[in-house]
Amino acid sequence: MKIAKQKKIKSSEDGLLVKNILAKQMGFSRREISRSHVSGSIYLNDVKCRLTQEVHTNDIVTVRTEEPILESKPIILYEDTDIVVVNKPAGIPSHASAEHFDDDMGSILKRYYQDDAFTVRTVGRLDKGVSGIVVYAKTKQMAALLASACEEQLLHKEYLAIVKGKFEEKWGKLIYTLGKEKGIRGRSVTADGQKCITNYEVITEGNFFSLIKVHIETGRLHQIRAGMAYFGHPLIGDRLYGGSMHAMKRPALHCWKVEFIHPKTKKQISIECELPTDMQKVVDKLQETITTA
């Protein structure tokens, strides 16, 4: 587990309870404290502790987490009065859920703007383990306009993925149907599923992996991950769909480019985002093998 936050107790804090230190001195919300307590990730002098334990001078209070440390300031790629576009790191959900009610990107943005009444609405979500560009609307009206643009394919996204093996055809269009089968995690290709159209283009290929560019014409859950696995090219790091965990520990998928016409200003918006470090390292190794072959 990684250290999320750590604090050494001052003499003026001697005798306070752990929960007071977490809330007042370390800035954790009640929900965050509760979640950390339930998961057993609060430590006093490297020993798991109760919230009601007293702390003393020079004690060390530590909160550990298996999640990536959340940046206090999101990486904003574009912003105006109606829209904010961010680079979402892998490991952070795009939106809140029962399991992630305040550590998702929407909540990070809310804290960044310091406005409890402010609510951003995600337009086209990325899976928790996927990195890259996510578009958020700042108003209900803009959310509806951008959602309509998505349905009409006026919001164009491109992904970069590292997948297993080589392709016989260096570019192509994959058409298949995805559905949910009972007893099987994730999505599967089924006769009565939702239609998926996935376009790919090989950028670089080695003996074992290929870097491809992907554009989807339909936005289905796990469309790229499940579809590539079905056609024999699972994303590396994608445990759910049989991808090798040797080179990466999360799906090697990154939304690197988004283009759309601004619903209000009618201007063309084009945003790009470079590969994250973990994927770039794999690509570098891939290129090294090509050079030395």
| Residues taking part in catalysis | 127
Query: Which of left, alpha, beta for 251 (phi over 0: left; psi -120 to 50: alpha)?
Result: beta
**Contact (CB, 8 A) for 139 and 68:** no
Phi, psi of 42 (to 5 degrees): -105, 130
Q: For 286, phi and psi rounded to 5 degrees? A: -60, -45
E strand spans, 9-109: 42-44, 47-48, 60-65, 76-79, 83-88
Return the exposure string of 192-209: e unless at least 16 CB atoms fall within 10 Å of the residue's CB, then b: ebbebebebebeebbeeb
- β-partners of residue 172 are 200
Cβ-based neighbours of 86, under 8 Å, separated by 6 or more: 74, 75, 76, 77, 105, 109, 133, 134, 136
> For 22, phi and psi rounded to 5 degrees?
-60, -40
Structure tokens at 120: 């951003």
Beta carbons within 8 Å of 237's beta carbon, 6+ residues apart = 129, 243, 244, 245, 247, 248, 249, 250, 251, 252
Structure tokens at 175: 């058409």
Task: Name the DSSP letter for residue 283.
Answer: H
